[in-house]
Amino acid sequence: MNSLSATDTTSVSPSTVDSSATVADPAAIDTSAALDLALPTADDANDIAPGLVTLRRALHENVEVGLDLPITQKLVLEAIEGLDVEVSTGENLSSIVVVLRGGARKTDSTGVVPAVLLRGDMDGLPVTEATGFDFAATSGRMHACGHDLHTAGLVGALKLLHRDRETLPGDVVFMFQPGEEGFDGAGKMIDEGVLDAAGPRVKAAFGIHVSADADLGVVSSRPGPYMAAFSKMTITVNGKGTHASRPATGKDPIQVGAMLVGQLQEYVSRRFDIFDPLVVTVGQFNGGTAPNVIPDVAQLVVSVRSFSDEATTRAEAELPQLVTELVAAHGLEADVDYERVLPPTINNDGEADFFLETFADLFGADRAVERANPIPGSEDFSRVLERVPGAYGHFGAALPNLPVDEREANHSPRARHSDDGLADQALFLAHLAGRKLAQLAQN
């Protein structure tokens, strides 16, 4: 296993953040106060990397889906056994919340001991794996989204920070989350109190997502809107079935449904600002049983992606009305069910800068990319960032030396994520938490 090494030629050793440290953003860490914060080095991370790879592969092979991940939970609990931390598990899902108490805790400007949250999601997908890995799952489930790496990386960050815990000026909450893939595990963990697990609400939150088709070890993020909100609209067009040869004796819901497919795009292109866009896709269109029958009913299920609260709210108010009235104009009736599934993932501007600067400081500016545009996928870490300032970003995990045209994206049965970046993932997360606590404790 080859760990990527942290660059240490142009920047300071990440081992200590003290008055001699030069970071990419001098404001990122106030070096004037007398904090004696020790943070892990690349060597520390490389020391634990083999154990993280073993854990990642065990998680991969034993992948589970949804909110109940008993084997995954057990593997994580075993991996962190013996650490001097507070561990609790979820009531309604197999989550794990770990609180690491700093040994140099001090109150911040708001009079509380600051806490910072790091998150890793743990669930897989109902995909039959075709990676050819010797640790591939054979259960019809797969870590096709790379959450096995998120879990192992978070365990790594915990181990690294635990080693230096006596110098931490605050607490770190580790959020091991089931059910990211459509189960709102983040929302459920928030309901069970993860944001307040340390006592006072966490002051900042960070997470990363691996990408199977992005260059290994390159991180990307951006301030502001980062990932889309997801809403789901289910349209039932109620017509009147009849013989296919005599449509005038019925009301054809397929014809009217097909009209809606086109009209939805007219709505998007004429009514929304291209700089605060909406993406509407009819992902399911079901109706009919035979070529010579006009059915009673057709159903369309539509996904709506948006990047701001304003666009999300407008679409929710306008789309059901548009659909209902268009269908009525043709003499049929529509039932529309509209559901907000996830809010947009919005990075705090300052925290997104801190996120990229911390990575650049550790591993070199050439490996930290500020994205020009948000990503149109959705993510339930949005629920955390709705409540707490923080940042989310992506971490390239393509197999080293794999040509770009042979890489497959997350969720593909052939998505192959490298674990060569695990040491860096763990080191990065550990520094995000440690350096943020240092900032908070000095303000």
Stretch that binds Zn ion, among 131-139, 145-153, 244-252, 291-299 (CB under 5 A): 145-153
Let me know: does 22 contact 32? Beta carbons within 8 Å. Answer: no
Nearest distance, CB of residue 65 and Zn ion, angstroms: 11
Residues whose CB is less than 8 angstroms from the CB of residue 411 and which lie 6 or more positions away in sequence, other chains included:
125, 127, 144, 145
Residue 315 burial (C-beta neighbours within 10 Å; 0-12, 13-18, 19+): buried
Nearest CA among 368, 416, 419 for reference residue 150: 419
- Looking at the Cβ atoms of 145 and 228, the one nearer to Zn ion is 145
Residues whose CB is less than 8 angstroms from the CB of residue 268 and which lie 6 or more positions away in sequence, other chains included:
277, 278, 279, 280
- Looking at the Cβ atoms of 145 and 427, the one nearer to Zn ion is 145
Tell me which residue has its CB nearest to Zn ion: 145
Token couple for 86? 């507070």
Give the contact letters, 257-296, x = binds to Zn ion (CB under 5 A), - = no: ----------------------------------------
Number of residues engaging Zn ion in binding (CB under 5 A): 1
Nearest distance, CB of residue 181 and Zn ion, angstroms: 5
Nearest CA among 90, 181, 186 for reference residue 141: 181
Nearest distance, CB of residue 64 and Zn ion, angstroms: 14
Residues whose CB is less than 8 angstroms from the CB of residue 341 and which lie 6 or more positions away in sequence, other chains included:
184, 230, 231, 232, 378
Token couple for 178? 């089931």
Nearest distance, CB of residue 138 and Zn ion, angstroms: 20
- Looking at the Cβ atoms of 61 and 380, the one nearer to Zn ion is 380
Give the contact letters, 15-44, x = binds to Zn ion (CB under 5 A), - = no: ------------------------------
Strand 219-221 with 368-370, pairing: parallel
Residues whose CB is less than 8 angstroms from the CB of residue 181 and which lie 6 or more positions away in sequence, other chains included:
65, 66, 123, 124, 125, 145
Distances (CA, A) of 164 to 84, 87, 160, 340: 12, 18, 7, 42
- Looking at the Cβ atoms of 210 and 441, the one nearer to Zn ion is 210
Stretch that binds Zn ion, among 87-95, 138-146, 220-228, 355-363 (CB under 5 A): 138-146
- Looking at the Cβ atoms of 96 and 375, the one nearer to Zn ion is 375
Nearest distance, CB of residue 392 and Zn ion, angstroms: 11
Stretch that binds Zn ion, among 108-116, 143-151, 238-246, 253-261 (CB under 5 A): 143-151
Let me know: does 230 contact 342? Beta carbons within 8 Å. Answer: yes
Of positions 96, 100, 145, 173, contacts Zn ion by CB under 5 A: 145
Stretch that binds Zn ion, among 28-36, 140-148, 299-307, 334-342 (CB under 5 A): 140-148
Could you say whether residue 228 binds Zn ion (CB under 5 A)? Answer: no
Paired residues of 98 in beta bridges:
87, 174
Stretch that binds Zn ion, among 142-150, 200-208, 240-248, 265-273 (CB under 5 A): 142-150
Nearest distance, CB of residue 411 and Zn ion, angstroms: 6
Let me know: does 114 contact 108? Beta carbons within 8 Å. Answer: yes
Nearest distance, CB of residue 344 and Zn ion, angstroms: 16
Distances (CA, A) of 428 to 156, 363, 400: 10, 9, 20
Nearest distance, CB of residue 140 and Zn ion, angstroms: 17
Instruction: Give me the residues that bind Zn ion (CB under 5 A), please.
Output: 145
